[in-house]
């Protein structure tokens, strides 16, 4: 019963470094999402994917890239980290047809110094 798994759980980066966050789901869901959560801002959608090989921008995509080469994996990349990207990142997935319940990973706490 793994559900949605995110790695790593914690990371500290220096400004300008790059990293990739991995999200894996074993529920055969079509839709996957990356959110960031900041105090007082709620969850904001960064990028999403409606199926293998497809990605699209959410409301705060700048500074991030994503890839969905396999249905079960959704990668979030930071090419050149900035302190403004310090946040908690959540990956989620949902079955076909958007707007249904989303299942979340445990989150990744990223600090950029």
Residues engaged in binding other proteins (CB under 8 A):
33, 35, 40-43, 45, 48, 50, 56, 58, 90, 94, 97-107
Main-chain phi, psi angles of 75, to 5 degrees: -105, 140
Cβ of residue 105: shortest distance to other proteins, in angstroms? Answer: 6
Measured from the CB atom, is 17 or 52 closer to other proteins?
Answer: 52
Cβ of residue 29: shortest distance to other proteins, in angstroms? Answer: 13
Measured from the CB atom, is 85 or 89 closer to other proteins?
Answer: 89
Cβ of residue 106: shortest distance to other proteins, in angstroms? Answer: 5
- Separation of alpha carbons 37 and 60, rounded Å: 11
Measured from the CB atom, is 19 or 45 closer to other proteins?
Answer: 45
The SS3 of residue 96 is: coil
Main-chain phi, psi angles of 84, to 5 degrees: -65, -10
List helix spans (H) across the chain.
none
Residue 82 CA: distances (Å) to CA of 18, 23, 26, 91, 113: 10, 21, 32, 20, 8
Measured from the CB atom, is 74 or 90 closer to other proteins?
Answer: 90
């Amino acid at each position: 019963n793994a559900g949605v798994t995110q790695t790593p759980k914690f990371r500290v980066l220096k400004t300008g470094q790059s990293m990739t966050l991995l999200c894996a789901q074993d529920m055969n869901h079509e839709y996957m999402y990356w959110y960031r959560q900041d105090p007082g801002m709620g969850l904001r959608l960064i990028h999403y994917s409606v199926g293998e090989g497809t990605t699209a921008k959410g409301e705060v995509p700048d500074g991030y890239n994503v890839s969905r080469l396999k249905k079960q994996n959704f990668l979030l990349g930071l090419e050149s980290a900035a302190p403004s990207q310090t946040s908690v990142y959540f990956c989620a997935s949902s079955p076909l047809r958007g707007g249904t319940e989303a299942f979340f990973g445990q989150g990744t706490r990223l600090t950029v110094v």
